[in-house]
Amino acid sequence: MFKKMLGIAPTLEDDGSYSPSKLALKLGVQTKTDYEEISYERYQGKRTKILVIFTEQKNMTMQNGKMFSTGNHPVEAIVPMLHLREAGFEFNIVTPTGKPVVFEMWAMPNEDEKVLNFYEEYKEQFEKPGNLSDFVSSSLGSDAAYAAVFVPGGHGAMLGIPEDNNVGEVLRWAHNKDLFTITLCHGPGSLLSTQLDGNEFIYKGYKMAVFPDSVDKQTPKIGYLPGQMPWGLSEKLAGLGVTLVNKKSDKTTQLDRKLITGASPLASNELGKLAAKTLVSKLT
């Protein structure tokens, strides 16, 4: 009751999960993003496609047993995609089994016309995405059409995707074919899938911008999370030989070889610009 009075109690949803408190939404969610419209020198080559792997899972069970209402963060997905589209790329949207994309709708920037318009334009694809397993079985040979794989962030990127063999196969395919991989915030959890089935973790020694565990540990105090995380992403990546380049959930981005990463939702615009400019310049 006291937490409710202060506005720091997570909000109980109909399915028993919790979304962030009123205070957490006020402090941590943008009503309008810092997206910049840029006139890019549009890519004119054949590698026009970007495979976008979204999560289809919603609820993350915290250490205390409470479920966090999560999914893909809309800003972390849509703002980079806006930049990439403006640079001349198109998207193949998939989820692990073809179920609808799950977004953290409480994080939708409801005063951002560009983001809202993009969401409405691609809504049918979000609701009826492709099946990643079908892509693995039928399309890995068509790498000449692809420029990159993009895994948006949101805590939901840590649900199922790091343990998905198809994700690991796609990321190893992108790595071996010299395609770019783009991800941010909690999205780098997907990179853990590359070590499944006894494979070597292919990003050992890479520099990455990743959402810090230290911040995740603090957010339950304001009701953003309903409890402590089930496991620490940045700690796990560091233990595999990754060099983390940020300590805050800020606008940090990092390009290391063909891997482009960003630290948090605040990095979405910078990540989009870096990815768009890098792909156009390196693929031309």
Output the domain CATH number for residue 224: 3.40.50.880
What is the amino acid identity at position 114?
K
pTM: 0.96
**185: left (phi > 0), else alpha (psi -120 to 50), else beta?**
left
CA atoms within a 13 Å half-sphere pointing along the CA-CB vector of 81:
29
**From CA 215, how far away is CA 207, in angstroms rounded?**
19
Contact between 271 and 153 (Cβ < 8 Å):
no
Token pair belonging to 115 = 């983001």
User: Tens of pLDDT along the chain (284 residues)?
Assistant: 435 544 689 999 999 999 999 999 999 999 999 999 999 999 999 999 999 999 999 999 999 999 999 999 999 999 999 999 999 999 999 999 999 999 999 999 999 999 999 999 999 999 999 999 999 999 887 788 999 999 999 999 999 999 999 999 999 999 999 999 999 999 999 999 999 999 999 999 999 999 999 999 999 999 999 999 999 999 999 999 999 999 999 999 999 999 999 999 999 999 999 999 999 999 96
Q: Counting beta carbons within 10 angstroms of the beta carbon of residue 22, is it exposed (0 to 12), middle (13 to 18) or buried (19 or more)?
A: middle
Q: Counting beta carbons within 10 angstroms of the beta carbon of residue 31, is it exposed (0 to 12), middle (13 to 18) or buried (19 or more)?
A: exposed
First to last CA, the chain: 59
Choosing from 185, 209, 267, 279, the catalytic residue is: 185
Q: Give me the number of domains the chain comprises.
A: 1
Which domain covers residue 156, as residue numbers?
Answer: 18-26+79-87+112-122+150-284
185 carries an active-site annotation: yes
Tell me whether residue 107 is in a domain: no
Tell me whether residue 173 is in a domain: yes
